[in-house]
Every structure is written in structure tokens, then in C-alpha cells.
A and B are shown apart, each in its own frame.
Chain A
Amino acid sequence: MNLLQLCYLLSAILFILGIKSLSSPETARRGMNLASLGMLIAILGTLFASHIVTYKWIIAGLILGTLLSLPISLWIPMTKIPQRIALSHAGGALAACLIGVAEYYRYRSNLSPLSMGIISIEVMLGALTFTGSLMVAGKLHGTLPARPVTYKGQNIVNLSLFVGMVLLLLYLILYPQVNLLFYTLLSLAFLFGVLLVTPIGAADMPVVIAIFNAYGGLTGAMMGFMLGNRIQIITGALDGASGFILSILMCRAMNRSILNVLFGAFGKLEEDAHQRRAATSQYKKEPQPITVEEALPFFDQAKSVIIAPGYGMAASQAHHALREFVDKLKSHRINIKYAIHPVAGRMPGHMNVLLAEANVPYTDLFDMDEINAEFSHTDIVLVVGANDVTNPAARHIKSSPIYGMPILNVDKAKKVIVLKRSMNPGFSGVENELYVQDHTWLLFGDAKDSLNKLAYAFKRAWNS
């Protein structure tokens, strides 16, 4: 066993300890410091204990990479975290893909079928994860249209492209020297990543980000197999497992099967939603609007309030205003909890990070399963920019596209106040039954604006 392998073993142990520490917010930070030490050991070991002919490309890359990493990690606002994570999936996949291309270019004349298979899978997965993640980032950032873009025969085009890539891959394993086919496979994979994400709307991104996380991990493991680098195999396996678990959790929270997601049938739901909207939107009642002044007395009598945040909170950057209003409520001995739905927001855990940024203690944040039983004895639920995840139709309307999706039991509370920009239905296109209940009031306007007004009015009322 040489020094380099010893370094890699040590960093593998530190990485595993780092991920283990993420089981609790109290140990997480220290654990990640261990993991970064592991990374340092692996890098230094590689630089000093492996056969390196020239350092000039290495130094250039290290300096350039470090400089580019600073703005996207130190100064980026937390509302932009989802697109930032998607971008880094793209970067990681591109690195693995390009190293695969470099290795093929150099050794193509004497590759064993097994090595060729590994390289092809690595390059294919890397390329499609690269362009796919770029598309995800673009949709989340608003550079690309966030709505699903669908056309007739989309699934057939995607499926035949996929089959085409697999056939090319098999052919390449038999005849590795055919350059043209390898580069065709590479280009098709780049194209496939784009087409795969085209029909997917922004609200489904929690699943898609997690899936590309898994693909990225798998690409890394393939790179490890190709280079005979075991630390990369281990890390790729850990990363892949993480992405896979997260995508399963996100699917479950949307009541979709992983197969449904993997084969890209995303666009279908929205089409159906529009067709079914007519059927489900026959309300017998009108929603009750409310003003800030009218809403205020509700809080006079309240002892417990649960906040249900959604993507709308992120979109209107209302998390700081929310925390300020909540501080006022807390100072009058009102018990406050936040109910977090797993797919609220645009990536797994998005709401938790935003609220943590606004200085909400994590001990006030509760998962759907922890808090769902508490709604029935809660005085007021304040819904901030969440829609589909609060729709009671998911429980009982079988024809609804969101039927079966686990929801926050917001409707069971004594009073519900919904902060809402307009009466437009949520992403799924389904109208929300919650809004026409007798004990639900809608406070129209920008969430941040409404919360600021509420906090101001509350302060004035209690001080006088």
C-alpha cells in the first residue's frame, strides 16, 4: 500500500463521517469540516504522491476554479440556492464527461470491451447530466420559460433517442475504434439532456434536481472505475445514493412513481390538469377576501399559530418579513410553529434554508408528518405562498391530478388565512378547495407587502 492509497483511505473515512454528521444540525458543521479536511488530504496526496509531469495546467485550473467558486458560494442569496445547486451538478458532470473523452481520445486503439463500456456510460451520463442540469438551472432562474414545453410525440422522440444511444453504446463496446460513433454518442447525450428537461415545469424541479444528483454520482463512480481510483468509486456511490433517496422522497411527497419520473412523463400531468380544471372548478361558493385591518383581530384571541410556507414565499422574498411578523406574535405569547411540506419550494429542504436565513430557529420548523396531527387544535394557520400542498381535494377528489398527494392538513385548523397574490390556481392547475371554506379568508397582495403591513398594524394596535 503506497502513500497515495493511504491518503485516499483516510479521506474516504472522513467523507463518511461528514455525511454521518448530517443526521443532526448540531453535529453537521463540525462533520463537514472533517469532510473538507478529507478533501484536502486527497488533493495534496494526488499532487505530491502521483506521477505528475507538469503542474502548469493543474495550477491554472485550481486558481481559475477557486476564483469562479467564490461568487456562487459566498455572496449568492439563499433564494437562488436551487439553481446554484443545479449549476454545480452540471459542472461536476462536465468534468467527468471531459475526462472520459480525454481518456478515450488517448487510449482508443487498445481499449478492452469492459473499459469501453465504462467510458461510454460515463461520457453519456455526464453529457446528459450536464445539459439537463443547465436546463434545470435556466428554468429555475427564469432564463428559460418555467412552464413545461410540450409537443406532440415528445415521448416517442425522447424514447427513440434513448434507444439510439444504447445501441450506439453497445456497438462501441464491440468496435471501440470507431471514433465517429463515440463523438456521435457524446452529441446525442448532450441533446438528450436538453430534451429530457424541456417538458418539465419548474414546480417539479425538486425531483429533477435530485435525479441529476443521482446521475452525477453515478458518473463520478464510473470515472472512478475508469481511472482505477477507489476514492472516486466510494464518493460516487455515496453521492448517487443520496440523489436516489432524495428523488424517491420527493416522488412520494408528490404521489408519483419513480418510473413515471424516470421516463419523463412529466408533461402529461399538466395537460390533464387543464382538461380537468373545468370539471373541478364548479364552486358553489366564492372565497372570502379580507384586509389587513380585518385580519388583525383574529390574532388577538389566538394562542397557537402555524405557518405553512410555499414557493410563493421564496418568489416574493417574504421570509424576512414573515419572521418579523412572527416575532411580534411571539412577544404576545402566541405559540408559533412552521409546517414544512417536503416539496414546498424548488428543491429538497428549500423552505428550511430560507427560514434559517431569516433567523427562524430550526427548533420551530416541523416536517409534514410531525405536525399534521396538530392542525385540528390550532387557532390560526397562516398560508404564505403555498397552494397545491394545502389542497384538501388531494384527499377525496379521485379525478384530481393531485389526488393521493400527501398534504398539510391546513383545512382542519379553526381559522385559515391565506396570503395570495391572485386567484390563479397553483402549478397543477387545480383550484384549491381550501379557499372556499367557511373558515378560510384570503388576504390578497404581495406576501412580503402584506406581512410588513400586518407587522406594522399589529405593533400599532398593541402599543396603543
Chain B
Amino acid sequence: MSHTIGIADVYIFVLASFLGFLLISRVPPLLHTPLMAATNAISGIALVGSLAVAGENYDMITNVLALIAVTCSTINVVGGFLITDRILGMFKKSKTESHQQ
């Protein structure tokens, strides 16, 4: 918590939100479920914050809280990417069209 929140962080948040709106508006409804699975996997980045807290070894209470946080975010990262790939792997073109290619 040594960090102070700077205006640069707010800039990053605002610009990333705009970028997110632009990119996600272009995702077709066909892929809305994999989109949710994918953003879920990516939001597992909370893992890096949890790792930092778990690695500090401050005391038992923070260690246990961080252990749960690391476990939950690992589930989201590993499970999220696996299931996104599994879903996307099921989306296939029709056979006739793929023959033409």
C-alpha cells in the first residue's frame, strides 16, 4: 500500500475503458459466451496482485486471505483459458464451405 494513486492511473483506466467499448462492440452475438469466458480468464490477472500479497508473508491472517485469493484467481486463469479454448474449438464452418477453401 506504499503506492499513491496518481492521475496517470486514472488516465489508463479511462482510455482502457474506451478501448474496451470499441473492441467489444465489434464482437458478434455468436461469440458472446466465449467473450464472457475470455474476459473472465483475463480478469484472473488479479492473480498477480494476490501473488504479491501472498509472497510478502506479513502474518497468518494476510497469508490465509492471500492463499484463498491466489487459489480463486488461479481457477479463473487456468479454467478460464481452458474453457474458452474448448468453446471456440466447437465453432466450425459448414463442411461444404470449408471444402471450397
Contact = CB atoms under 8 A, between A and B. Distances in A.
A217 B74 contact: no
A54 B19 contact: no
A43 B51 contact: yes
Contacts of A84: 83
Contact of A114 (B5, B16, B95): B5
Contacts of B12: 230, 233-234, 237
A106 B59 CA distance: 9
A86 B69 CA distance: 17
Contacts of B97: 361, 363
A241 B62 contact: no
B27 to A, nearest CB: 5
Interface string B76-100: 1111111111111111111101000
A51 B62 CA distance: 16
Contacts of B91: 25, 28, 356, 362
A417 interface: no
**Secondary structure class of chain B's binding surface, majority of residues:** helix
Contacts, number: 373
B49 A223 contact: yes
A118 interface: yes
Interface in A224-239: 224-239
Contacts of B5: 114-115, 118, 225, 228
B55 A58 contact: yes
B54 to A, nearest CB: 4
Given A42-B45, A92-B43, A99 B50 contact: yes
A74 B20 contact: no
Interface stretch (A11-19, A290-298, A438-446, A448-456): A11-19
A281 B55 CA distance: 64
6 contacts: A15-B45, A102-B65, A102-B66, A349-B35, A352-B30, A356-B90
Interface of B: 1-5, 9, 12-14, 16-17, 19-21, 23-58, 61-63, 65-95, 97
